[in-house]
Amino acid sequence: MAVNRIAGVLSEGRSFLLMTHKDPDADAIGSLLALGKALIDAKKEVVLLTEKPVPDVFRFLRGADRIVQVFDTGKDFDAVVVLDCSEIERIGCFPGCLEGRRPLINVDHHETNSFFGDLNLVDPHGSSTGELVFNIIKAADFRFGYEVAENIFAAIQADTGSFKYDNTSSTCLAVAAEMLEYGVKPWEISRKMVAEYSLSRLRLLEMTLGSVEFHHQGKIGIMTISLEMFKKAGAVETDSERLVDYPRFVSGVEIAVLIRERYKDDYKFSLRSNGRANVAELASRFGGGGHAMAAGFEGRGSITVLKSDLMKEAVRFLDGTPD
């Protein structure tokens, strides 16, 4: 089994490079930190690498200061572990840093994963990559301590929308419960994760809600955030996280969309489903992917054209989705 083979590589090796996707979420950072700390406790050397500095909102996660953006590229590693990435390109740009580095270990729970690794632990039924990291640590018989547990708990909590999404399984609840035995307090993590937002985020939310539009008999709710709005609110990219949920709270909405301008004429589309529509499939029609209930894609060009393309496809999609 992949999990045992990966555990074997990690047990036998001595030094590892761990990476995750660009624009990381709490599952990405939590998985990176949990596996990193478990390896450190097992007397291994690790480099935890992200494309950009860890977003402020995840800085509270223990060990976050271990994550770097540059490393000695001449260094040899016994394996590279890529966490929570459906495609290898998701790691962002590290020119040459993966060249010739083997084995490449792919640990992910996205349905659309391309199995880019030499070893692939890909489980779309896993609630989160954090849950898969838990399985690896168990299989390798590495130690759990507070730090590992906090990061695994945060990863699972975030990817299940605090145990509300359809990926909340008895398995992930059991793993989360086990993390409490190491001292994790769910209220404390929740408070840090969602209740320590900046005032800028509130200002951004105010403007984002002002942009909401409903289409197709109220089945599609769309909000748009422009660069201008980010500037006015004094907000950063991560301040827009989870805002896409708001249209979903409205009765009758099947698909919620958040369009975020990243650069001029360069947009990130986040899609959420209320259960009927598989938004991963919808996103894949635009070169993106994700999960049935949460997915996304990127688009370049005129926002009017991009939006109308999405609308056309979403309408066709909803009308073709049986009740």
Residues contributing to the site for Mn ion (CB under 5 A): 27, 84, 129, 159
Nearer to Mn ion, 32 or 229 (CB): 32
Least Å from the CB of residue 159 to Mn ion: 5
Nearer to Mn ion, 77 or 269 (CB): 269
Q: In what helix (H) or strand (E) does residue 305 lie, and over which residues does it extend?
A: helix 303-320
Nearer to Mn ion, 113 or 274 (CB): 113
304's CB contacts (< 8 A; 6+ apart) are: none
Least Å from the CB of residue 171 to Mn ion: 15
Least Å from the CB of residue 27 to Mn ion: 3
Least Å from the CB of residue 129 to Mn ion: 5
Nearer to Mn ion, 6 or 29 (CB): 29
Sheet of strand 213-215: strand arrangement? 213-215, 220-225, 255-263, 266-273, 294-300, 289-290
Least Å from the CB of residue 158 to Mn ion: 8
Least Å from the CB of residue 156 to Mn ion: 10
Nearer to Mn ion, 150 or 159 (CB): 159
d(CA 305, CA 87) in angstroms, rounded, equals 27
- Tell me which residue has its CB nearest to Mn ion: 27
247's CB contacts (< 8 A; 6+ apart) are: 212, 214, 221, 222, 223, 253, 256, 257, 272
Cβ contact 81:105 at 8 Å? yes
Residue 119's DSSP bridge partners are: 105
Going by the DSSP 8-state scheme, the letter that residue 240 receives in this structure is G
Nearer to Mn ion, 124 or 145 (CB): 124
Token readout for 121 is: 């632990």
